[in-house]
């Protein structure tokens, strides 16, 4: 059993703005819980008892939420990179809170129901220093292709391969952002400098034939953009994530208020304390906690942060993303993509 883990939560979540203007990406809710708590739950189910958060952007909010972990029967610790140290440097920065045994490492923006026990078994069966979970993709050109031998050892990393670098018929598998690292792998990371585990540490170890890889067909999603964040909600509602029970075709927090004449369509998620007024329609959209959708308004496919106001008879359709406390004036029509900064009013020049 691996009983310790590091979750890498240091990024600023720039691709998720404006949702991350006011909070770290791992604390964005997935239905009723912060996304990172879903990762904690997955680890705890696998027998992990110690979790270290390697932080960077807005670390206080994560620490204040989880505390020392005792309320969850866990031990939780926190380290903050004094400056950006890269993914490997962030792991090394957590070393003082780990023991010498194997450790799980998770990227803080990955939702997966990967079989962690199977990953550990593969790691130890190979006697590897590091083992990477792999997930299949149709097109690896935007990722880093990982090639393995028949035993499941990494033989090559190909960063963003071009068409002529691909081998006909080969499986396209990419790094899935979940690892098992031995003490030897962590010792290979230089201390106090910026190091990428993907581009520096793993290729170094693979040259020594010391990196394993386990391909899995499990559920996997990189929640790095508002569109993928919205899709993660749809996946949970559809029951695709094995350890998160689906509440049904849509989800409305028990503290939200929905007028009897309002319509909540499939794929919608309504956060705590939100108000959906008479005649309003919310369809396939995320409405954050404390938000207000006014009388006769229609919100389709959008992602709204906390405290957002949609005025009466406004029509908000498509990949519209609004940061916390943004406002859509009554009667406004937006059809298509738009990004409204936290606290801004849609239609104002500074809103986008």
- pLDDT at residue 11, as a whole number: 78
17 contact partners, CB below 8 Å, separation of at least 6: 323, 339
Instruction: Say if residue 350's pLDDT is above 70.
Output: no
**Contacts of the segment 305-313: beta carbons below 8 A, 24+ positions apart:** 305/18, 305/19, 305/22, 305/342, 306/22, 306/271, 312/277
Look at the pTM and tell me if it is higher than 0.75. yes
How is the chain split into domains, by residue range? Answer: 4-228, 251-351
Q: What is the DSSP string of 228-246?
A: HHHHHHHHHHTT-STTS--
Beta bridge partners of 148: 154
Domains 4-228 and 251-351 agree in fold: no
**At 268, is the secondary structure helix, strand, or coil?**
coil
- The CATH code of domain 4-228 reads 3.90.550.10
**Could you give the CA distance from residue 304 to residue 27 in angstroms, rounded to a whole number?**
15
pLDDT per residue as tens digits for the range 98-113: 999 999 999 999 999 9
- pLDDT at residue 200, as a whole number: 92
Span 60-64, average pLDDT: 93
Query: How open is the CA angle 143-147-149, to the nearest 5 degrees?
Result: 165
- pLDDT at residue 348, as a whole number: 67
Is 251-351 in CATH node 2.40.10.480?
no
- pLDDT at residue 351, as a whole number: 47
Span 307-331, average pLDDT: 96
The DSSP output letter for 316 is E
Instruction: Say if residue 276's pLDDT is above 80.
Output: yes
């Amino acid at each position: 059993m691996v009983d310790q883990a590091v979750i890498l939560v240091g990024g600023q979540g720039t691709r998720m703005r404006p949702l991350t203007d006011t909070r770290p990406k791992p604390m964005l809710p997935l239905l009723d819980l912060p996304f990172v708590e879903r990762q904690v739950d997955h680890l705890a189910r696998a027998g992990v008892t110690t979790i270290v958060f390697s932080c960077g952007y807005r670390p206080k909010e994560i620490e204040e939420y989880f505390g020392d972990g005792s309320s969850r029967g866990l031990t939780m610790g926190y380290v903050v990179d004094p400056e950006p140290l890269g993914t490997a440097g962030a792991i090394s920065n957590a070393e003082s809170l780990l023991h010498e045994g194997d450790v799980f490492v998770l990227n803080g923006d990955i939702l997966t129901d990967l079989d962690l026990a199977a990953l550990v078994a593969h790691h130890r069966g190979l006697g590897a220093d590091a083992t990477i979970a792999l997930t299949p993709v149709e097109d690896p050109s935007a990722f880093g292709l990982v090639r393995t031998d028949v035993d499941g050892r990494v033989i090559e990393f190909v960063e963003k391969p071009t068409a002529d670098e691909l081998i006909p018929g080969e499986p396209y598998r990419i790094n899935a952002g979940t690892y098992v690292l031995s003490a030897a792998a962590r010792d290979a990371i230089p201390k106090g400098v910026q190091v990428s585990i993907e581009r520096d540490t793993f290729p170094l170890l693979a040259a020594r034939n010391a990196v394993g890889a386990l391909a899995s067909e499990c559920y996997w999603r990189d929640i790095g953009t508002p569109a993928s964040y919205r899709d993660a909600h749809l996946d949970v509602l559809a029951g695709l994530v094995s350890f998160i029970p689906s509440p049904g075709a849509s989800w409305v927090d028990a503290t939200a208020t929905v007028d009897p004449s309002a319509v909540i369509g499939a794929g919608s998620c309504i956060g705590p304390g939100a108000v959906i007024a008479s005649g309003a329609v919310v369809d396939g959209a995320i409405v954050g906690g404390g938000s207000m959708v006014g009388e006769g308004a229609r919100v389709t496919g959008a992602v709204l942060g906390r405290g957002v106001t949609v005025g009466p008879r406004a029509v908000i359709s498509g990949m519209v993303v609004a940061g916390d406390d943004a406002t859509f004036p009554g009667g406004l029509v937006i059809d298509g993509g738009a990004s409204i900064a936290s606290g801004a009013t849609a239609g104002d020049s500074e809103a986008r």
